[in-house]
Amino acid sequence: LKTFGKYATSLSLICFSFPMLSIRENLREKDRLKDYLEKHPYNLAYKFLESGDPDLGIHYEPMRNYLDLAYVGTISIGTPPQEFKVIFDTGSTDLWVPSIYCSSPACANHNVFNPLLSSTFRISGRPIHLQYGSGRMSGFLAYDTVRFGGLVDESQGFGLSLREPGKFMEYAVFDGILGLGYPSLGLRGTIPVFDNLWRQGLISEELFAFYLSKKEEEGSVVMFGGVDHSYYSGELNWVPVSRPFYWQLSMDSISMNGVVIACDSGCEAIIDTGTSLLIGPSDIVFNIQKIINANQSYSGEYIIDCDAVNTLPDIVFTINGINYPVPASAYIREGHQGICYSNFDEGAGGSFLSDSWILGDVFLRLYFTVFDRGNSTIGLAPAV
């Protein structure tokens, strides 16, 4: 599903960022995904990262990489715990999961929360409506204990779905979403998960970081309260957050072979773990597709010659004076049946983010990323 941007009001959240490529991509990969999961049901990272490192004050939550389409971690809610697979999404702020009261087909295919089984559950009675670019969730606000990565977050506000219309969640490999954006992006009057971790003194530093693996390589992880230097090489380059709403920064330019091909006068970019691709303004992305000789298919996706991986140059994103190359092997993906696709996609026309870029998992697989709320900065370094 395409990723466009998010807007929050007191009772609604328009979340155009969604952590999947598309329904058609998900369906196309369905058989391959099934085979993959049968062969690789667990990653070794799950065996040694579950409770974090008390010496470093870092709490690790492993994530499974679903064919580079989505990175999914496991949380539990309630007492005793009920488990859910969630996207840890820096492009939204709220936490929600399906409930037993949900009547949509999507909920029949996913884990659902049963309030009657939790002794620590509290209901608020407040309705919530989360509107996505390709669907929506309607439900209500509740409070309960949330656990992940060895952390125990008490009295956490979260959404429980009553309806999830449309197909976008029905085929998802996750149950819900745990947002890690700024509070200003979330539902008013609620405290997001990360802010509660900090307020309750559960983490020693007011930051978290992501390492996203490539395909079947070493397991992906989100870490809270500290930075594990073994996941990146060199030094972290720190970039100020330009607007504390999204994890947004100012980008200098986008170039190829030393020639600027986009963002020539500077532009804004959002670092979003809940977005699979590199999203930009439609006219500029269309021009990039022409430059790399990607042609639009009948389904709307851009197809490219697989051999181009060996000949096309890096596309360089320059941020705060530092170059971040994205090689052809990253901006071209090989799908099922040996067909290759461009990892660039267009934003929505008319969106208030239509002139901005969203740097999703394609970028984040290459660069270990630290989200420092205490200093409102983003740290970037080559991932190992």
**Given 68, 89, 94, 175, which residue is catalytic?**
89
Buried b (16+ CB within 10 A) or exposed e, 48-78: ebeebbeeeebbbbbbbbbbbbbbbbbbbbb
195 part of the active site: no
Element (H, E) at 119: none
Name the amino acid, one letter, at 23: I
Measured distance CA(68)–CA(212) in Å, rounded: 9
CB atoms within 10 A of CB 333: 22
Q: Which of 71, 57, 83 is nearest to 21 (CA)?
A: 71
Measured distance CA(295)–CA(312) in Å, rounded: 15
Which residues on adjacent β-strands are paired with residue 136? 131
From the number of C-beta atoms within 10 Å of its C-beta (0-12, 13-18, 19+), residue 325 rates as middle
Sign of CA dihedral 74, 75, 76, 82: negative
**Given 68, 153, 252, 272, which residue is catalytic?**
272
CB atoms within 10 A of CB 183: 17
Q: Which of 379, 361, 376 is nearest to 181 (CA)?
A: 376
Name the amino acid, one letter, at 265: S
Task: State phi, psi for 302 to the nearest 5 degrees.
Answer: -100, 120
Give the start-end residues of each E strand in 4-150: 6-8, 12-15, 59-66, 70-77, 82-89, 95-98, 122-132, 135-148
89 part of the active site: yes
Residue entry with tokens 């096309």: 312
Q: Which two tokens stand for residue 379?
A: 């740290």
Which residues have C-beta within 8 Å of that of residue 244, sequence separation ≥ 6?
182, 184, 376
Q: Which two tokens stand for residue 22?
A: 């598309």
Q: Which of 152, 140, 143, 139 is nearest to 121 (CA)?
A: 143
Measure CA 154 to chain center.
Answer: 24
List active site positions: 89, 272
